[in-house]
Amino acid sequence: MENSEKRIYQDTIDNLSDGVIVIGYDNKISTCNDSACAMLGIGFGTAIGKSIAELMLEIEENNEFFELLLNAVYEKRKISKTVVFHTKDSTKYIKVTTTLLIEDGVDNALIAVLSDQTETTNLIIRNQSLATQIKALMNSFVEVMVTAVEEKSSYNANHTRNMVRYATRYLEWLSSHGELLDKTSGNTGPLIMSIWLHDIGKLLIPPEIMDKPSRLGRSIVTVKHKIEIARLMLRNRMLSGEDTEEHVRSELKRLDEAEELIVSSDTLPFLDEERIAKLNEIAGINLLTSDGGTCPLLDPSELNEITVARGTLTDEERSIMQSHVVLTGKLLSKMEFVGEYKKVPEWASKHHELLDGSGYPDRIRAEDLPWETRLLTIVDIFDALTADDRPYKPPMPPEEAFRIIKDLADKGKLDKEIVDSFYRSNAWNRSPEEALMKELTMKALKSNLENALAFIDDYLNEFDCPEKTRMLIDLASEEIFVNIATYAYVPRSGTVTIKISLTEDHSQVNITFSDSGIPYDPLAREDPDITLSGEERQIGGLGIFLVKKYMDDVRYRFADGKNNLTLVKNLDNP
Ligand SMILES: [Fe+2]
Ligand SMILES: [Fe+2]
Domain assignment of residue 480, yes or no: yes
Same domain, 295 and 251: yes
Same domain, 177 and 233: no
Residue list, CB under 5 A from ion ligand 1? 199
**pLDDT in the model for residue 235:** 94
Domain assignment of residue 130, yes or no: no
CA distance 10 to 47: 15
Domain assignment of residue 214, yes or no: no
Residues 6+ apart with CB under 8 A from 360: 322, 325, 352, 353
Domain assignment of residue 213, yes or no: no
Final residue in a domain of this structure, among 312, 343, 369: 312
Distance 324 CA to ligand 1 centre (A): 7
pTM equals 0.63
Predicted confidence (pLDDT) per residue in 459-516, tens digit: 998 888 888 999 999 999 999 999 999 888 877 778 899 999 988 788 889 999 999 8
Low-confidence ranges of the chain (pLDDT < 70): 1-6, 103-106, 154-157, 389-393, 527-541, 573-574
**pLDDT in the model for residue 529:** 59
Same domain, 237 and 288: yes
Same domain, 282 and 191: no
Predicted confidence (pLDDT) per residue in 20-68, tens digit: 998 888 888 888 888 888 888 887 777 888 888 888 888 888 888 988 8
Tally of domains within the chain: 4
Q: Which ligand is nearest to the CA of 159?
A: 2
Residues of the domain holding 448: 434-570
Distance 193 CA to ligand 1 centre (A): 15
Final residue in a domain of this structure, among 279, 312, 345: 312
Distance 174 CA to ligand 1 centre (A): 25
Are 175 and 224 spatial neighbours (Cβ–Cβ below 8 Å)?
Answer: no
**pLDDT in the model for residue 371:** 97
Distance 381 CA to ligand 2 centre (A): 8
**pLDDT in the model for residue 391:** 59
Domain assignment of residue 126, yes or no: no
Domain assignment of residue 129, yes or no: no
Same domain, 375 and 241: no
- DSSP label at residue 486: I
The CATH number given to whatever domain includes residue 371 is: 1.10.3210.10
**pLDDT in the model for residue 17:** 85
The CATH number given to whatever domain includes residue 528 is: 3.30.565.10
Residue 462 zone, left/alpha/beta (φ > 0; ψ -120 to 50; rest): alpha
Domain assignment of residue 84, yes or no: yes
- Sign of the Cα torsion 305, 310, 314, 320 reads positive
The CATH number given to whatever domain includes residue 76 is: 3.30.450.20
**pLDDT in the model for residue 57:** 85
Same domain, 425 and 333: yes
Final residue in a domain of this structure, among 292, 312, 332: 312
Same domain, 511 and 466: yes
